[in-house]
Structure 1
Amino acid sequence: MQRRTSIDWRYSSLAVMLIAPWILSGCGGGGGNGGGGGDSQPAAPTVSLTAPSGGSVNRTVQLTANATAGSGVNRVEFLVDGNVIATDTTAPYSTDWDTSTVADGAHSVTARVVDAANVSATSAAATVNVLNSPTINVAVSSAEVFPSTNSTATGTGQLTFNLVTGVVTGGVTLSGITATLAHIHHGIAGTNGPVIVDFLASAADPNRWEVETGDVLNADQVNALLAGQLYVNVHSAAHPGGEIRGQIKPQGVVVGIAGLSGANVAPPQTNTATGFAAMTINESSNTATVHVQTTGVDDATEAHVHNAPAGENAAAPLLTLMKDPAVASHWLLEQQSITQAERDALAADRLYVDVHTPASPGGALRGQLSTEAEAPAAVTLTQLQTTIFTPSCAGCHTGGGSSLPASMNLSNAAATHAAIVGVASTEQPSLQRVTPGNPDASYLVRKIEGGPSITGARMPLGGAPLDAALIADVRAWITAGAANN
């Protein structure tokens, strides 16, 4: 009996030794981990919103997200301010959000993933500013007009654009100008373009011009607006092509302008050439567009943008412009990538534009770009004597004869002023050669413009007509009072 018990005990111990590891491994039906080879849980779902990341949005915006789930993604939901606006069940996960369904202002955008087990996770929120009806301040002056009108007139106003419907409202209030027309044109700074919106004079205020009711932008024009490619132009009888102008600059668009002259070159150059440069920065795409218009340097060989303060020369160009094959006086560069450092340089007035010619390989014209538009200095008679009367008129108008042309003395500024300002025309005595303040009533202007109402030939007699910029200078001097300056 005792021996049998000893044998039974040994066999029982062996059984325990053989069975215990199997039980502990979880293979013994109903082990502590629920059986079936170690019941590991599937990976939890994750989701991240990849667009938009923030900032301003308008019209229709694409929302995108990345999502994963161990048990499989059932769907990804897109939420605005906590409300589901769309669901996508197939990667890559995205939807188009019509932002016009919410009010302008700040909104929270998130993505939520739901897996096959109905477990969900939500992304971090992106805060966006919906801006479908921006109101944009606009200022108009002669600073952005080329050829320059040298007008001292100005204007300010606000324009509101509905980017969804294209409706435009608002207007500008003017000072120092008797406007005949006002419009919104399609053209980036430094270029001229067609009229797309009309203004009407206010019946209550002759200095106020309002957008004509019912005028709208089409989709392409809305895109042009957001790229800084629209401008306000105000016309007058003296300047039917436009006396003052201002680029419409929405959020994210910066415009730098510069007047170009030989006097700005380092060292200064003596010439009568002029120019105008405009750089438009699109901050959302980090690109720059540059347009340069010149007169008197059609033989120019190069034009650049450089990084250096006024009076100093940069070692190498920052941007190289292309000469317009159709217009020798036009240089341009479209949609060129630009860095934040270069944007900062523009803001600090460190960028300049120069134009090179065979006679002035170091630069014939130069101007420092500035985001603060300034009207050009008033034209003086001394300047006109140098650019027009001495080279183009004094050879015949010597003052040494008894009849025209020699009877008129245009040999120096003092003699020119005495000969033309307030003096009746010999050819048309009912008109003064120069009527201070009124270029259209001045016979001198009619003679150099070659209008149909003149007697005899257009001036300068036997020579090339004056270019538009020089005629504009004469008009500006007369408009300002035709001073003996």
Structure 2
Amino acid sequence: MPIHLSKSLALLALAFTTLSAGATVQIAPAHIYTTQLSGASEDPPNASPATGSATVGFDIATHTLTIDVTFSGLLGTSTNAHIHCCTALPGAGTAGVATMTPSFTEFPSGVTNGTYHHVFDTSLASTWNTGFVNSHGGIAGAEAALLAALDNGQAYFNLHSTFAPGGEIRGFLQPVPEPAGIAMLALGMPLLLVLARRRQR
């Protein structure tokens, strides 16, 4: 390997290591999960033309659960919404309600279109379905179970309506890469381009 290329690779590794260390100290993001909501994702599927999206941020260290949802085109009017957990297989099946019942606080009800944002304290019993907490030995166990299910694609966001009381649109939540990791990749790209150009000479 040419010396200049070896040095460039070493510098790239150092930059990534330094950036990674800095990110660990300065950034402690919640785990982020997202999904697209549809009737086709329900179990059993339905013919609803409605669409939606849900983004969930969950941070056990700070006991925060952030919910952001948009939806439109429901055939019925919205009744309630929850996160269900934990299915036996990733991306399939049904599970009981993990979060508060009958619905998330102030979730839009009686509408066909809406948006929602709320931050919950997961150290409070009121954030959870009592049955879910009891089946996991308490709030700490419930938090750990939900986090594991979210990481493995075994939890889904379900929006219920008058058209489909069991759920008109839903989607399995999937992890989103951590912002620190994306930033590292983006900042490292110029160095990779320099290396590529040098190899072409």
TM-score category, normalised to shorter length: 0.5 to 0.7
1:227 partner amino acid: N
- Provide the rounded CA distance (Å) in 2 between the counterparts of 1:165 and 1:219: 13
Confirm or deny that 1:185 pairs with 2:75: no
- Provide the rounded CA distance (Å) in 2 between the counterparts of 1:133 and 1:139: 20
Which position in structure 1 is the counterpart of 2:48? Answer: 151
- Provide the rounded CA distance (Å) in 2 between the counterparts of 1:224 and 1:129: 27
Question: How far did residue 135 of structure 1 move?
Answer: 2.9
Q: Give 3-state SS (helix, strand or coil) of 2:34's partner.
A: strand
Q: How does 1:17-416 map to 2 (within 5 A)?
A: 106-107=20-21, 132-177=29-74, 178-186=77-85, 187=87, 188-198=90-100, 199=104, 200-202=106-108, 207-211=114-118, 213-214=120-121, 215=127, 218-251=143-176
Q: Write the deviation string for residues 365-418 of structure 1: whole angstroms up to 9, x where unpaired.
A: xxxxxxxxxxxxxxxxxxxxxxxxxxxxxxxxxxxxxxxxxxxxxxxxxxxxxx
Question: How far did residue 235 of structure 1 move?
Answer: 0.5
Structure with greater strand share of residues: 1
Question: How far did residue 130 of structure 1 move?
Answer: 6.9
Question: Is residue 34–residue 176 contact of structure 2 (8 Å, CA) maintained in 1?
Answer: no
Unaligned runs of 5+ in 2: 1-16, 122-126, 129-141, 178-201
Question: Is residue 169–residue 213 contact of structure 1 (8 Å, CA) maintained in 2?
Answer: yes
Question: Is residue 141–residue 244 contact of structure 1 (8 Å, CA) maintained in 2?
Answer: yes
Q: Give 3-state SS (helix, strand or coil) of 1:213's partner.
A: strand
Unaligned runs of 5+ in 1: 1-79, 82-104, 110-126, 253-485
- Provide the rounded CA distance (Å) in 1 between the counterparts of 2:148 and 2:25: 20
Question: Is residue 180–residue 237 contact of structure 1 (8 Å, CA) maintained in 2?
Answer: yes
Which position in structure 2 is the counterpart of 1:430? Answer: none
Structure 1 or 2, whichever has the larger Rg, is 1
Question: Is residue 33–residue 150 contact of structure 2 (8 Å, CA) maintained in 1?
Answer: no
Structure with greater helix share of residues: 2
Number of equivalences: 132
The 4+ residue runs of structure 1 with deviation greater than 4 A are 127-132
The structure-2 alpha-carbon separation of the partners of 1:230 and 1:130, relative to structure 1 and needing over 3 Å to count, comes to: farther
Question: How far did residue 211 of structure 1 move?
Answer: 4.5
- Provide the rounded CA distance (Å) in 1 between the counterparts of 2:56 and 2:70: 12
- Structure showing greater relative contact order (alpha-carbon pairs closer than 8 Å, 6 or more residues apart): 2
- Provide the rounded CA distance (Å) in 1 between the counterparts of 2:35 and 2:58: 13
Question: Is residue 155–residue 172 contact of structure 2 (8 Å, CA) maintained in 1?
Answer: yes
Question: How far did residue 170 of structure 1 move?
Answer: 2.3
Q: Give 3-state SS (helix, strand or coil) of 2:175's partner.
A: coil
2:160 partner amino acid: H
Q: Give 3-state SS (helix, strand or coil) of 2:94's partner.
A: coil
Q: Give 3-state SS (helix, strand or coil) of 2:163's partner.
A: coil
Which position in structure 2 is the counterpart of 1:26? Answer: none
Question: Is residue 166–residue 219 contact of structure 1 (8 Å, CA) maintained in 2?
Answer: no
Q: Write the deviation string for residues 424-462 of structure 1: whole angstroms up to 9, x where unpaired.
A: xxxxxxxxxxxxxxxxxxxxxxxxxxxxxxxxxxxxxxx
Taking only aligned residues, the RMSD between alpha carbons, in angstroms, comes to 3.3
Q: Write the deviation string for residues 297-350 of structure 1: whole angstroms up to 9, x where unpaired.
A: xxxxxxxxxxxxxxxxxxxxxxxxxxxxxxxxxxxxxxxxxxxxxxxxxxxxxx
Q: What is the identity percentage for the equivalent residue pairs of Structure 1 and Structure 2? A: 31
The structure-2 alpha-carbon separation of the partners of 1:129 and 1:140, relative to structure 1 and needing over 3 Å to count, comes to: farther
The structure-2 alpha-carbon separation of the partners of 1:230 and 1:133, relative to structure 1 and needing over 3 Å to count, comes to: same
Q: Give 3-state SS (helix, strand or coil) of 2:150's partner.
A: helix
Q: Give 3-state SS (helix, strand or coil) of 1:185's partner.
A: strand
Which position in structure 2 is the counterpart of 1:474? Answer: none
Question: How far did residue 212 of structure 1 move?
Answer: 6.7
Question: How far did residue 129 of structure 1 move?
Answer: 11
Q: Give 3-state SS (helix, strand or coil) of 1:195's partner.
A: coil
Q: Write the deviation string for residues 111-131 of structure 1: whole angstroms up to 9, x where unpaired.
A: xxxxxxxxxxxxxxxx99976
- Provide the rounded CA distance (Å) in 2 between the counterparts of 1:156 and 1:213: 19
Question: How far did residue 162 of structure 1 move?
Answer: 0.9
2:40 partner amino acid: A
Q: Give 3-state SS (helix, strand or coil) of 1:201's partner.
A: coil
Which position in structure 2 is the counterpart of 1:401? Answer: none
Question: Is residue 154–residue 174 contact of structure 1 (8 Å, CA) maintained in 2?
Answer: yes
